[in-house]
Amino acid sequence: MKKISLTLLIVCISITFLLNFTMPEFAGNMKDHIRSMNILYSYSVTKTFSEQTQDTIEIASVPSGKEEIRNVDFRSDVKLEDTPLNIKSVVKESLKKPQDYTFKEKLTGPEKGFSFRKYYLTKNYDKGRYTVIRTNKITGKEKVYVGTYHEPSAQDHIVEWSRDEK
């Protein structure tokens, strides 16, 4: 059984190597499929939350007595630090999926006494460390990878708020 698995692995690697030169896009897709099938390795991913971080975006500044309609589309994506390419997809599978946000609303200026109202969106991220243990199914050898992740927060992912200023 191990000889068949090793032969299959050698054939897949050889085909991928040849395709890298002839059809690089197809080879990249093939590598992703081979990796996701977990032919050679098994993975164990653990996450440790450390803090919540924020990214604030000013979406509009509306003068007193005015109205605006705003369309805002953005994506809150996973960010990885210190992550080798060969385990990036494994780590991303264990994190929250990217979230799309669409904002379409009538925004109004402030009451008398203020010059303008600024509207904001705050994206909250959960930040922490991850550990991936990759185990070779044939040899049983383990390799440990450690890095940092930012994923859309489980609570209050997006907060809309405004501030009146003079």
Structure tokens at 150: 């930012």
- Residue whose C-alpha is closest to residue 16's, from 4, 34, 1: 34
Kindly report, residue by residue over 6-36, the tens digit of the pLDDT.
677 777 677 766 666 666 655 555 555 555 4
Confirm if 50 and 129 have CB atoms less than 8 A apart. Answer: yes
Spatial CA neighbour of 126 closest among 154, 93, 160, 156: 154
Point out the least confidently predicted range of 13-22, 129-138, 156-165. Answer: 13-22
**CA 140, CA 137: separation in Å to the nearest integer?**
6
CB distance 117 to 164 below 8 Å: yes
Per-residue model confidence as pLDDT tens digits over 53-99: 999 989 999 999 999 998 888 888 889 988 888 888 889 988 888 88
